[in-house]
Amino acid sequence: DQQVKQNSPSLSVQEGRISILNCDYTNSMFDYFLWYKKYPAEGPTFLISISSIKDKNEDGRFTVFLNKSAKHLSLHIVPSQPGDSAVYFCAATETGTASKLTFGTGTRLQVTL
């Protein structure tokens, strides 16, 4: 039972343009959402998070949007840079579960010159 889904396994975007990565979840108990970035042969690194009491959180070039009614979140990267090329994992958790993260399967972003 996949509770966090990233339906696009890959995405290619030109440098300077906007990258939009999408994530859907099914568990209505999730109330905290995160995005992690992963380079090959490295561990995931935390990028940005959002609580369910908000619908938007911004950190520099990265913005996460949360639509609770649709159980959907998205990560916007503007402008995209070649160094952003990586696999992006969406993750969700529920308050009281001791940071038990449920991950999506990732979207590979390729930023081209």
Partner 1 sequence: DTAVSQTPKYLVTQMGNDKSIKCEQNLGHDTMYWYKQDSKKFLKIMFSYNNKELIINETVPNRFSPKSPDKAHLNLHINSLELGDSAVYFCASSQKPGVGNTIYFGEGSWLTVV
CB of 76 to partner 1, least distance (A): 21
Minimum gap (Å) between residue 86 Cβ and partner 1: 14
Residues 6+ apart with CB under 8 A from 95: 31, 32
Measured CA to CA, the distance from residue 78 to residue 15 in angstroms comes to 10
Q: Looking at beta carbons only, is 12 or 39 nearer to partner 1?
A: 39
Q: Closest CB to partner 1 among 15 and 94?
A: 94
d(CA 63, CA 59): 6
* Beta-bridge mates of residue 103: 91
Residues that bind partner 1 in the complex, under the rule CB under 8 A: 2, 31-32, 36, 41-46, 49, 51, 89, 93-101, 103, 105-106
Residue with smaller CB distance to partner 1, 45 or 81:
45
Give every CB contact of residue 105 below 8 A, 6+ residues apart in sequence.
Answer: 2, 5, 6, 9, 89
Tell the smallest beta-carbon distance from residue 69 to partner 1 (Å).
Answer: 21
Task: Output the smallest distance, CB 9 to partner 1, in A.
Answer: 9
Nearest to 47 by CA among 107, 103, 90: 90
Whose Cβ is closer to partner 1: residue 32's or residue 65's?
32
